[in-house]
Chain A
């Protein structure tokens, strides 16, 4: 299915429910578009700057003031034209890379004809979690907000429904330093949340496995497990990645988190199989 370019331009959103092969092709296409838009924006930005500088010089010469007006207008037109290349998409090309990594991970364990739902937001809304004064700083303000930019949901071969979301958790602090200068400090962490609605007929009740699962999950440096919650029907895990900005790193963290959960799911399945074997052979209860 072709990418809905109008929606991508207007809302900065790619949302689709297709087999994994189609999603990969779409994300490739979007990444290519984003790279092109980024290049176009950069070119226009450079030319606008050059035209305006030359325009100012023309004004200052006096005789060429008319040329200065033309150059200013041309620069202004280029600046206006930049808007046709959405900034949000151009600046978040790495989200396509991440999306492709996740679809590649899921491809190994899903039916190639089964649709996967994916949502990549390049211009996601900032949801403020809190804001207020920043104590201990002049004119100090702190705002904590969340940007939800990725979600995926897939039915796996074993009957599990897998879903993942990625949120940027951003802390923005502004204050006036001792020299009177305004400063802004932004720190971003990524919250990776996964949910596995597993079939209990295959895996049994996973609740007793929680300590083992917490122990088994391995993550790259800078990412920590924040929560592991297990019920008889679902496993929910959450991790916090503090090395924001790299799609490869985030994809690795996501894969490792899912692998840690499945290492114990697979163990449980093996245990269920052995219990059935023992029961079948008249073994001990």
Chain B
């Protein structure tokens, strides 16, 4: 059994864990531990256990007794609880970018060196603070051949992907209102777990995973979290990115690095986002998915880790 520790708010850790679990569970049982508020939205037949506290996470790890423990992002656990862990499992760290103040304050480089058998970096621009044993392509919750041909979004749509925190929804709602005010020539849709107040009902769509829809989007408006950036860059879909402040994730840095690699425009206000999206909206035909899912390679590398 592989156990993936993916505690952390929002969608990011959960989606990355699901991407790995889907690739890995063909050959062995895989379980995810998470505390994302969006667990119920994941409909992929993946075994996810909700752990809200440090104690419940430790208990779940102990009860599962995995032969491989894969920890997403937080080497010590998001609450520091993994320092108390006693386990013979092989330990793998998924090294997403981390706040360097946190890395320094807790001497994480040393901790990782002493406690992890393998460090896997899910993407070219992630993870530069610890040793990187393996660097793969970004991990995506769908591989190219799994993208459905029939999606509920028309080609050429301006797609607003409102992931992240509930209190940030108002910003996305304001973007939709601004797109309407500016008479956006392309159809607009908003995909999110909860409908932003300013988004009309007929423009809102609750759909998971949003990666299925990106092929039809002429431009995407979203945050600058790992999954949004990775999915848009993989699809080569233009992204208007609004980095959100996070305690551990340097979204601004990720967005600016991605802007150097692909069509990513970094914005701040809803007005800027709407204007940038209207400028970028152009393609009216759906794209063909042609990307590599790094989760597949990660599974191969992890299973070759000797006990």
Question: Which residues in A have some Cβ–Cβ distance to B below 8 Å?
Answer: 127-132, 135-136, 142, 144, 146, 169, 171, 191, 211, 214-215, 224-229
Inter-subunit contact B194/A144 (CB<8 Å): yes
Inter-subunit contact A169/B167 (CB<8 Å): yes
B196 at the A/B interface (Cβ < 8 Å)?
A: yes
Chain B residues contacting A129 (CB-CB under 8 Å) are 166-167, 169-170, 194, 196-197
| Given A135-B41, A144-B166, A214-B101; A130-B245 close (CB under 8 Å) | no
Chain A proximity mask over B189-223: 1 for CB below 8 Å, otherwise 0: 00001111100000000100000000000000000
Interface centre among B101, B194, B196 (most CB of A within 10 A): B194
Q: How far is the CA of A216 from the CA of B245 in the complex (A)?
A: 17
Residues 6 to 49 of chain B near chain A (Cβ within 8 Å): 40-41
| Given A127-B197, A135-B41; A229-B245 close (CB under 8 Å) | yes
Inter-subunit contact A132/B101 (CB<8 Å): no
What are 25 contact pairs spanning A and B, CB under 8 A?
A127-B197, A128-B197, A129-B166, A129-B169, A129-B170, A130-B166, A130-B194, A130-B195, A130-B196, A130-B197, A132-B193, A132-B195, A132-B206, A135-B40, A142-B194, A144-B169, A146-B167, A169-B167, A191-B167, A211-B101, A214-B101, A215-B101, A226-B245, A227-B245, A228-B245
Across the interface, name the chain A residue whose C-beta is closest to B167.
A169
Residues 261 to 297 of chain B near chain A (Cβ within 8 Å): none
Q: How far is the CA of A163 from the CA of B103 in the complex (A)?
A: 33
Chain B residues contacting A211 (CB-CB under 8 Å) are 101
Interface centre among B41, B170, B245, B247 (most CB of A within 10 A): B245
Q: How far is the CA of A130 from the CA of B206 in the complex (A)?
A: 13
CB of A207, distance to nearest CB on chain B (Å): 12
Chain B residues contacting A136 (CB-CB under 8 Å) are 40
Across the interface, name the chain B residue whose C-beta is closest to A225.
B247
Q: How far is the CA of A127 from the CA of B170 in the complex (A)?
A: 10
Question: Which residues in B have some Cβ–Cβ distance to A below 8 Å?
Answer: 40-41, 101, 166-167, 169-170, 193-197, 206, 245, 247
Across the interface, name the chain B residue whose C-beta is closest to A189.
B167
Inter-subunit contact A132/B40 (CB<8 Å): no
Q: How far is the CA of A266 from the CA of B196 in the complex (A)?
A: 40
Chain B residues contacting A135 (CB-CB under 8 Å) are 40-41
Chain A residues contacting B193 (CB-CB under 8 Å) are 132
Given A129-B167, A132-B194, 5 more A-B residue pairs with CB atoms under 8 Å apart are A129-B170, A130-B196, A135-B40, A211-B101, A225-B247
CB of A161, distance to nearest CB on chain B (Å): 21
CB of A226, distance to nearest CB on chain B (Å): 7
Interface centre among B101, B195, B196, B197 (most CB of A within 10 A): B197
Interface centre among A127, A130, A191, A214 (most CB of B within 10 A): A130
Chain A residues contacting B101 (CB-CB under 8 Å) are 211, 214-215
CB of B302, distance to nearest CB on chain A (Å): 31
Chain B residues contacting A131 (CB-CB under 8 Å) are 194-195
Chain A residues contacting B206 (CB-CB under 8 Å) are 132
Chain A residues contacting B166 (CB-CB under 8 Å) are 129-130, 144, 171
Interface pairs A-B: 6 shortest CB-CB: A130-B194, A135-B40, A227-B245, A136-B40, A144-B166, A132-B194
Across the interface, name the chain B residue whose C-beta is closest to A140.
B40
Chain B residues contacting A227 (CB-CB under 8 Å) are 245
Chain A residues contacting B197 (CB-CB under 8 Å) are 127-130
Q: How far is the CA of A132 from the CA of B192 in the complex (A)?
A: 11
Chain B residues contacting A229 (CB-CB under 8 Å) are 245
Q: How far is the CA of A86 from the CA of B135 in the complex (A)?
A: 63
Q: How far is the CA of A228 from the CA of B195 in the complex (A)?
A: 27
Across the interface, name the chain B residue whose C-beta is closest to A145.
B197
- State which of B40, B169, B247 has its C-beta within 8 Å of the C-beta of A130: B169
Q: How far is the CA of A191 from the CA of B245 in the complex (A)?
A: 15
Chain B residues contacting A132 (CB-CB under 8 Å) are 193-195, 206
Across the interface, name the chain B residue whose C-beta is closest to A212.
B101
CB of B287, distance to nearest CB on chain A (Å): 30
CB of B231, distance to nearest CB on chain A (Å): 22
Across the interface, name the chain B residue whose C-beta is closest to A224.
B247
